[in-house]
Amino acid sequence: MPGDGVRGRGHRSVLPFRAVPAEVRLLRQATAAQLGRWGVPHATEETELVVTELATNVIKHVGEGTSATLVLEWEGERLRVEVHDKSHSVPSPSVADCDAECGRGLHLLTAVTASWGAVATALGKAVWCEIELADGVSCRRVARAVDALENYSGSVGAALRGRHRDMALEEAAIELIADLLHWSAASGHDPEEFLDQAQMHYEADARAV
């Protein structure tokens, strides 16, 4: 799985991979890094577990070395994890009753996710899971911040990937904060008071988690 295989587009990340054990470890690392960039690192443990299970199932039931794709998509208080492969065999919850080896994996998905399912695609199938993000207030604020920064800076777009995109967002955040301080001063307010009030809101949200 090449390092630049992550294509960030809003709150969606697509990672092509080859179904071999070594790639599963890289997928977990890429997942943790992406969740950190999105500001939802508290979901890392569950998401890594789901990613490991889905990728391992491709190795076991589709074939080692086959091409597959991991899709991470975050919207609101749900994180969606999808793995696409070229097999047309679509699993269902009832399989868990008759296939012990696959059944353990399906029961695991049921236990750690809010919901899961599988659908046929033009090229094969996709198995998806949705993970509930407990920190709802923080998630909503982070989502709004990412949207604002992407809209604020014209340099942040689909052409930027990985660390380059992170750096662009960081620069946009600094410029946005500076502009807001200029606006507060021009409007007759005290910029430091604005910063103090923002800090109070942040600390109140953090205590509520």
Q: Of 72, 57, 55, 49, which is closest to residue 18 (Cα–Cα)?
A: 55
Rg (alpha carbons) of the chain, rounded to whole number: 20
Q: Of 172, 165, 145, 179, which is closest to residue 13 (Cα–Cα)?
A: 165
Q: Are 126 and 35 found together in one domain?
A: yes
Q: Are 11 and 108 found together in one domain?
A: yes
Enumerate residues 6+ apart whose C-beta is below 8 A from 53: 105, 108, 109
Enumerate residues 6+ apart whose C-beta is below 8 A from 165: 8, 37, 156
Residue bearing the bigger pLDDT, 138 or 169: 169
Q: Which residue among 109, 134, 159 closes a domain?
A: 134
Q: Are 48 and 77 found together in one domain?
A: yes
Please write the tens of the pLDDT for every residue from 144-177: 777 777 777 665 454 555 566 677 778 888 888 8
Q: Which residue among 105, 134, 163 closes a domain?
A: 134
| Domain range enclosing 114 | 3-134
Q: Of 130, 51, 47, 124, which is closest to residue 90 (Cα–Cα)?
A: 124
Q: Which residue among 134, 154, 184 closes a domain?
A: 134
Q: Which token pair is 159?
A: 């052409």
Q: Are 58 and 130 found together in one domain?
A: yes
Instruction: Please state the pTM of the whole predicted model.
Output: 0.62
Please write the tens of the pLDDT for every residue from 74-121: 887 789 999 999 999 887 655 444 444 444 566 667 777 888 889 999
Q: How many domains does the chain have?
A: 2
Residue 125 pLDDT more than 70?
Answer: yes
Q: Are 67 and 152 found together in one domain?
A: no
Helices (H) and strands (E) in the chain, counts: 6, 6
What's the order of all strands across the beta sheet hosting 78-85? 7-9, 12-18, 67-75, 78-85, 125-132, 115-120
Please write the tens of the pLDDT for every residue from 4-49: 444 444 489 999 999 999 999 999 999 999 988 888 888 888 899 8
